[in-house]
Structure 1
Amino acid sequence: MNEYIIFMLDDTTNRSASTNSTLWAEYISALRKSGQFDGGSSIGNGERHRKGEPAKAAGIDVTGFIRVRAASMEDARRFLIGNPDYEAGGSVEIRELPKD
Structure 2
Amino acid sequence: MVNELATNAIKYAFPKGTGRITLGFQRRDGEVTLTVEDNGVGMNPAGGESGMGSRFIAAFAQQLGGTLAKASAGTGTTFIVRLPLTVLAGNESSAAS
TM-score range, shorter chain: 0.3 to 0.5
Using structure 2 for the length normalisation, give the TM-score. 0.38
Using structure 1 for the length normalisation, give the TM-score. 0.37
